[in-house]
């Protein structure tokens, strides 16, 4: 890597070579003003190029930061996705185990060989239970009517 003094020496040598090349005769001194203007134009062009490169470097730096941020977001999203998949698999396994347990209990309760058969037997049992509940409610209603008749008969006999 070149040091600062080595670079300065190289620049000085290049400037000296340039001036020696441009100022070889006395007539070249008459063109010194145009030579200086030419050097100033070149210097300004170099300045514009340096500014342009600096702007590009800034743009590239910003793009690099955005790319790094996007990479971090992607890594986080992938991690969250893997975690979500894992949780879904665990819930699905739990559901499958729970469903198998319910099927087994239903088969045991109805003394069936298959869960479909057990389900149909269970539906029949529930239907019978519902009819029994309606009949029980009807009997309760008839008891209340009977009690009201008894009370009404006692009230009528007491008032007459």
- Domain spans of the chain? 112-160
- 35: Cβ–Cβ under 8 A, 6 or more apart, which residues? 22, 23, 28
Residue 1: predicted pLDDT:
54
In percent, the amount of the chain with pLDDT more than 90 equals 49
Residue 56: predicted pLDDT:
93
Instruction: List, for the chain, all residue ranges whose pLDDT scores fall below the cut of 70.
Output: 1-2, 25-29, 160
Interval 56-75: pLDDT, tens: 999 999 999 999 999 999 99
């Amino acid at each position: 890597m070149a040091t600062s003094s080595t670079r300065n020496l190289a620049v000085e040598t290049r400037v000296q070579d340039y001036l020696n090349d441009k100022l070889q005769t006395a007539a070249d001194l008459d063109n010194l003003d145009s030579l200086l203007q030419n050097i100033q134009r070149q210097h300004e062009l170099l300045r514009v190029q340096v500014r342009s490169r600096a702007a590009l470097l800034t743009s590239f730096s910003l793009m690099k930061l955005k790319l790094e941020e996007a990479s971090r977001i992607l890594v986080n999203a992938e991690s969250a996705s893997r975690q979500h998949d894992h949780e879904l698999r665990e819930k699905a396994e739990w559901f499958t185990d729970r469903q198998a347990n319910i099927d087994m209990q239903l088969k045991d309760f109805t003394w069936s060989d298959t869960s479909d058969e057990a389900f149909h037997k269970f539906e029949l049992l529930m239907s019978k239970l519902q009819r029994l509940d309606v009949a029980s409610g009807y009997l309760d209603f008839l008891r209340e009517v009977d009690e009201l008749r008894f009370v009404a008969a006692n009230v009528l006999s007491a008032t007459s």
